[in-house]
Homo-oligomer: A and B are copies of this chain.
Amino acid sequence: MTIRATVWGENVHETSNQIVSEIYPEGMHAQIAKQLAVDKNIVARTATLQQPEHGLTHEVLAETDVLLWWGHAAHGEVADEIVERVTNRVWQGMGLIVLHSGHFSKIFKRLMGTPCALKWREAGERERIFVVNPGHAIAAGLPEYFELENEEMYGEPFSVPEPMETVFISWFQGGEVFRSGLTYRRGRGNIFYFQPGHETYPTYYDETIGKVLRNAVNWAFNPQAVSSDPSDAPNVPVEEALEAIEERGPKLHKKGEKGLR
């Protein structure tokens, strides 16, 4: 079955910063989409901040199985309404892969319920990414570790909830460590945070990084996604109770009344 991925890119530094525009002349989102397309099972499109509704219309999201998110300079410009729309779609079962500086995106903080803060240093140092869960689908076909000669250091403590599973932990040349691959589930949506991807380095051209992204899309895809309202809280009338019971005691709600929110 084909997996429909949408790569969301903030697309700010690509047009405003010469270094970034030289590395990613078509935008980081375009390069990430190219990496995904190596997997014949994935069809990838892109969306950016500058498009109407940030390119994340109801239609686009309805046709998206897995959303990838890269943002950094303009987290605050993402409309709250779109954040809620994406949140709802994750709860319905759309996968979400949050990349690098996306740790501070509205959507990631919204779904984690924590600050998602960390330490950082932009010094082009060496990062070595270790697979700590070699049987995990996101680690399929990877070596025991792989290296990026230049990456931004992200250091612990990373204030996220304890993950469902820790897939990667990174060693940094300057002396820090970081949990660089973490999985979560929120509603029906599978979520993966993946640390590498600073915009001044060619990280998304790296072959192993591409493999991780493709694995992650395959892992995050949930064929059981639904389109119903995840926040629905249905009343079960006494007459329809699974076991016969008689109503007892005082009541707040009249018959057929909706619940309070």
* Chain A interface residues toward B at CB < 8 A: 13, 17, 19-20, 72-73, 75-76, 87, 91, 93, 101, 104, 110-115, 117-125, 128, 130-137, 139-140, 144-145, 150, 153, 155-159, 161-162, 164-166, 169-177, 179, 184-189, 198-201, 222-225, 230-238, 241-243, 245-253, 259-261
Docked Cα-Cα span, A13 to B251, in Å, equals 12
Q: A114-B186, A125-B241, A164-B165 are in contact. List 10 more A-B contacts (CB 8 A).
A: A91-B115, A93-B135, A101-B260, A104-B261, A118-B233, A123-B248, A124-B247, A133-B162, A161-B161, A171-B176
Which one, B157, B169, B185, contacts A179 given CB within 8 A?
Answer: B169
Tell me how far the C-beta of A169 lies from the nearest C-beta in chain B, rounded to whole angstroms.
5
- Residue with the highest number of chain B CB atoms closer than 10 Å, among A125, A165, A198, A247: A125
User: Which B residues are in CB contact (< 8 Å) with A184?
Assistant: 161
Number of copies: 4
- Residue with the highest number of chain B CB atoms closer than 10 Å, among A13, A111, A128, A155: A155
A233 x B117 contact (CB < 8 A): yes
B111 x A113 contact (CB < 8 A): yes
**17 residue pairs from A and B, CB less than 8 Å apart:** A101-B260, A113-B113, A114-B187, A115-B230, A117-B230, A121-B236, A123-B245, A124-B247, A124-B248, A130-B177, A133-B157, A135-B185, A136-B224, A137-B224, A169-B177, A171-B242, A174-B236
A162 x B155 contact (CB < 8 A): no
Tell me how far the C-beta of A221 lies from the nearest C-beta in chain B, rounded to whole angstroms.
11
Docked Cα-Cα span, A79 to B111, in Å, equals 20
Docked Cα-Cα span, A224 to B138, in Å, equals 10
A120 x B175 contact (CB < 8 A): no
User: Which B residues are in CB contact (< 8 Å) with A158?
Assistant: 132
B115 x A130 contact (CB < 8 A): no
Given contacts A134-B157, A184-B161, A251-B200, A243 and B174 within 8 Å (CB-CB): yes
Which one, B114, B200, B233, B253, contacts A91 given CB within 8 A?
Answer: B114
Tell me how far the C-beta of A36 lies from the nearest C-beta in chain B, rounded to whole angstroms.
20
User: Which B residues are in CB contact (< 8 Å) with A169?
Assistant: 156, 169, 177, 179
A72 x B260 contact (CB < 8 A): yes
Closest to A154 in B: B233
